Structure 1
């Protein structure tokens, strides 16, 4: 379990390098400043930003094989978690942030520029309006209940698509309530940042 900021930094450093850590410092400072203008994250979580937002995002990386190539779709990116962190940790692969709220889009655009994320792009519209393209990985944090999430994102999936979906304390229940065919595709991994939370992990194409 990652329980403090030092552990979170060490965990992320094991997945990246010092330059990435420096960029995350910039992101943390910008997040605190912007949070005074718009409610990007809960104010209380800013005191533990490395655990609550950075490590919580970075923990998705080990669930995807290192050799996986292609776009990582992050649905409902909001403040940029996990999307911005994933883009920093996978600089050689594209990351697509799907976000429809205008002020959030402005924030994400500013951070992509500030962090020099040439591999990161924004689809600034509702997911239903995004042109179909194939995703190597799909993630979503607090986007929608699992059945709706899978229904909306099915057309982006292929037989080789990985799913890594932080679902908090409802993870096991949400998987259990899926239709049998879908239920067999997914399992729950324990969160590294919350002992009572889970990450829904799976691989494959959803839908016909």
Structure 2
């Protein structure tokens, strides 16, 4: 369990994706976040002193579940302040990361940050997810986007049986998974590295129950 900013930075430094360029992008992201947070409430002010734990590693830990191919398209739902989408894109700049966000000020922030970090393969889609054109993605992530059943209803059209879902769910992870009905799936809960009471739902969505594949 990562319990300090020093430990968080050490954990990141051990990632295969970490190099001087990645370090520069993450440092830039943190500086931009602090500056923008004074203008709009992107994250809780109390989380800024522990930004490496609370936002950077909390996002980057998802990479430990994904093979390192950089060409895998990644869909991040309700990216908001940029987590995990901007962190994933900063650590894997050759990966196509599509960040969907419907709130105009958040969309503006994400686009400014994307440009400042030089994330040419990342894209910000400013729309409600219901209005985004369907296409398959290899990875789908969402942090504090919607309850699990609603999230699956909205995102299933972007997934195949091989799509990997990575869903940080905080303390509700196990309970939401236990209460999930109507879907065939191969989900399980992984312990979060940044919160002893939090979990990440990981796995594949196989389709609606009662429907032929």
TM-score bracket relative to the smaller structure: over 0.9
Q: Distance in 1 between matches of 2:207 and 2:87?
A: 26
Question: What does residue range 1-208 of structure 1 map to in structure 2 within 5 Å?
Answer: 1-15=1-15, 16-67=18-69, 69-179=71-181, 181-182=183-184, 184-207=185-208
Q: Distance in 1 between matches of 2:56 and 2:146?
A: 21
Structure 1 residue ranges, 4+ long, deviating more than 4 angstroms after superposition: none
Paired residues of 1:150 and 1:206 also in contact (CA < 8 A): no
Secondary structure of 1:104's match?
Answer: helix
Compared with structure 1, are the counterparts of its residues 201 and 68 closer, same or farther at alpha carbon in structure 2 (3 Å cutoff)? farther
Deviations 1:3-39 (A, max 9, x none): 1111111212222112211211111111111101100
What are the ranges of 5 or more consecutive residues in structure 2 without an aligned counterpart? Answer: none
Structure 1 length-normalised TM: 0.95
Paired residues of 1:68 and 1:136 also in contact (CA < 8 A): no
Q: Distance in 1 between matches of 2:149 and 2:70?
A: 25
Deviations 1:95-123 (A, max 9, x none): 00000100000000000110000110011
Structure 2 length-normalised TM: 0.93
Deviations 1:140-193 (A, max 9, x none): 0000000000000000000110000000000000000012743x5210000000
Q: Distance in 1 between matches of 2:71 and 2:34?
A: 33
Q: Distance in 2 between matches of 1:21 and 1:87?
A: 13
Compared with structure 1, are the counterparts of its residues 70 and 76 closer, same or farther at alpha carbon in structure 2 (3 Å cutoff)? same
What are the ranges of 5 or more consecutive residues in structure 1 without an aligned counterpart? Answer: none
Q: Distance in 2 between matches of 1:189 and 1:64?
A: 13
Counting matched residue pairs gives 207
Q: 1:64, CA displacement in angstroms?
A: 1.6
